[in-house]
Chains A and B, each alone.
Chain A
Amino acid sequence: MNSRDLRKLSRRSFLASSLRTALFSAGAMSASAFAQPTPWRNWSGGLSCQPAGRHDISSEAQLADLLANTRGAIRPVGSGHSFSPLVPTDGHLVVIDQLSGILDHDPRSLQATFGAGSRLGDLGAPLQDLGQGMLNLPDIDRQTVAGATATGTHGTGIRFKSLSGYVTALRLVTPRGEVMDINANDGDLFDAARVNLGALGVVTQIRMQNRAAYKLKKREWTAPTEELLAEFDERAANHRHFEIFPLVYSDYSLALQIDESDEPIGQTIVPAEEVELSDLRRPGLQATPAEKLALNNALAQNAEMTEAVDLSWKLLSNIRSNPFNEMEYSVPAAVGADCVREILRTIYDQAIDVAFPLEFRYVSPEDPWLSMAYGDEPHATISIHRTASADYRPYFDIIEPIFWKYGGRPHWGKIHSLGYEQLKELYPRYRDFMEIRESLDPDGRLLNAHLRQLFNK
């Protein structure tokens, strides 16, 4: 905060004095507002629970003591961005916000250790000051490092792993209160722990491989979806990041291409001001599928290209201000385009009431056992979204079997309906993960209803 901001704040504070008595006189808050315990809710508001206890952890020692000397269920929470019910518990909710920041860094290896409760968006600037930048980032920058890696959260790019793929070491406090430092020398345990669903313990520190700080140039444009799908592999291979957002009820997609750049920071075309999501319900967009197609195609043909150059962490990740729910599956890259086509066709044929575009991108193969890109071949990831105020189930229930048809693996932090029987077939090391989980948490303290479904417990 600079001095000008402080002056503004002081002025506002002075003006605010006239409100004090009227708005917050002693006892003004009604008893009803405080009579109930405070529930937990996730970012989209679709999940909630009433934990028996909230624990705002300030040190590993406090956490170890809590785990060793309490009974009952425990679930760690990051920033609540998972759409799947990984967090809800009626037991102890463990909050690790205070375990945050850059704990150490190595300018030679370009690695840094983060408090696991660090939000990704809070690491960009201090890492930049240290001459480092994270190799890739997911879309939403409010996620914690612990939450993003625990769920295998990824960004875009056929040469880029998920965040978990860049973890070089982590510290885990087990349900018994034991502190374990885990790295590649630990073999199977390391590959299990990098995508852990919060089921092995509570992660307190994460060390990641970064690179020298860098700038990126982003280009966005619209083009026919078939044209973009035909050139997708070539663009994905020749550009640092390439993905498309296929528009529903349209033959067009938005293309997003990002490359390293030494150009000055700036934006060549400033996008129009933000439009409220409710505008999607304009009468013109509640037409028949054919009418929507004609309208959307006409509009997409006239959309402008935008370009922007900025620091890597500012271009790769964002704060999202319109809450939504999301389903995402990975499928082998070779069948990704066909899967997208079938989803778009299904939305049109069944006149599904949705306006959000899909998202289609590639991720690199990687080693963490529960990564949706585990194995030797690149995967395409495909997302569908629904505004949080609408019931996502009718839409997602129709589309999810299409993902299954193409061998899809679900994103752990996003909505899916799979259980143990399906998951053990999709993830080759699934049962190995379960063995490690049972060795670290034999009493199942870290299991909630959702995890019991995943692990058949």
Chain B
Amino acid sequence: MQHAAKTLLILSLLLVANACSSPQATSQPFASNGIDPAVMAKWSRSCALCHVDGVADAPRVGDPTEWRRRLAKGEDAVLRNVIEGVNAMPPLGYCMACERDDFRAMIAFMAGAN
């Protein structure tokens, strides 16, 4: 019962308890390895919020195991997930200024392809 009670509390209070800590956007982007600096700047202001620390189960930047699973669904599907949102990631991943090519470069960077 105790577990059930705690579960109810969590379920019912999604508005209260289901919150992540609030990481800061990184002010010093990772080495961009050839990515357009403007794209890296967008990445730092958006994707980095969750993909550096793995907030809400976001695949961490540079982690091949986590990215292999996502990319297995195909690149069109991954891009669609970014644009439409998936799981805890909102549509566009908080990058209101990003175009598809930006997202493609960001995905490649985070997956370790750059």
Contacts and interface: CB of A to CB of B under 8 A. Distances in A.
Interface of A: 1, 9, 12-13, 15-20, 23-24, 28-30, 32-34, 36, 38-45, 48, 54-56, 77-80, 93, 95, 97-98, 100, 119, 121-122, 124-125, 139, 141-142, 220, 222, 245, 247, 250, 254, 256, 271-275, 277, 279-280, 296, 299-304, 306, 313-314, 317-323, 355-357, 359, 385
12 contacts: A1-B52, A12-B61, A19-B64, A80-B94, A274-B18, A279-B7, A296-B12, A306-B17, A321-B55, A322-B14, A322-B88, A357-B12
A441 to B, nearest CB: 22
A19 B67 CA distance: 9
A45 B104 contact: no
Nearest to A126: B24
Contact of B112 (A17, A303, A359): A17
A23 B73 CA distance: 11
Contacts of A1: 26, 28, 52
Given A15-B65, A121-B24, A314-B21, 12 more contacts: A12-B62, A16-B62, A17-B112, A38-B83, A38-B100, A43-B90, A48-B91, A139-B15, A274-B18, A277-B14, A303-B5, A304-B2
Interface of B: 1-22, 24-26, 28, 30, 38, 41-42, 45-46, 49, 52, 55-56, 60-65, 67-68, 71, 75-76, 79-80, 83-85, 88, 90-92, 94-101, 103-104, 108, 111-113
B93 to A, nearest CB: 11
Given A23-B111, A45-B85, A77-B96, A122 B6 contact: no
Contacts of B76: 30, 32-33
B16 A254 contact: yes
A164 B18 CA distance: 26
B15 A359 contact: yes
A117 to B, nearest CB: 9
A304 B104 contact: no
B104 A34 contact: yes
A33 B2 CA distance: 49
B111 A275 contact: no
B9 A313 contact: no
A322 B111 CA distance: 24
A418 B24 CA distance: 37
A38 B83 CA distance: 8
Contacts of B101: 34
Nearest to B50: A319
Contacts of B1: 302
Contacts, number: 220
B24 A122 contact: yes
A320 B38 CA distance: 27
A23 B22 contact: no
B15 A56 contact: no
A24 B108 contact: yes
Contacts of A272: 3, 6-7, 9-10
A41 B12 contact: no
A8 B112 CA distance: 13
A299 B4 contact: yes
Contacts of A121: 22, 24
A37 to B, nearest CB: 8
B91 A33 contact: no
A40 B17 contact: no
A139 B15 CA distance: 9
B62 to A, nearest CB: 4
Nearest to B95: A97
Nearest to A87: B96
A271 B19 CA distance: 11
B21 A15 contact: no
Given A16-B64, A323-B85, A317 B97 contact: no
B22 A95 contact: no
A254 B13 contact: yes
B13 A220 contact: yes
5 tightest Cβ-Cβ pairs between the two chains A and B: A16-B112, A318-B19, A302-B5, A41-B91, A299-B8
Contacts of B68: 19, 23
B80 to A, nearest CB: 8
B35 to A, nearest CB: 12
A32 B77 CA distance: 11
Contact of A141 (B2, B22, B95, B103): B22
A318 B6 CA distance: 20
B37 to A, nearest CB: 12
A301 B12 CA distance: 13
Contacts of A300: 5, 8-9, 12
B99 A54 contact: yes
Given A12-B63, A38-B100, A41-B83, A275 B112 contact: no
Contacts of B7: 272, 275, 279, 299
Contact of A41 (B55, B84, B103): B84
Contacts of B11: 275, 279-280, 355
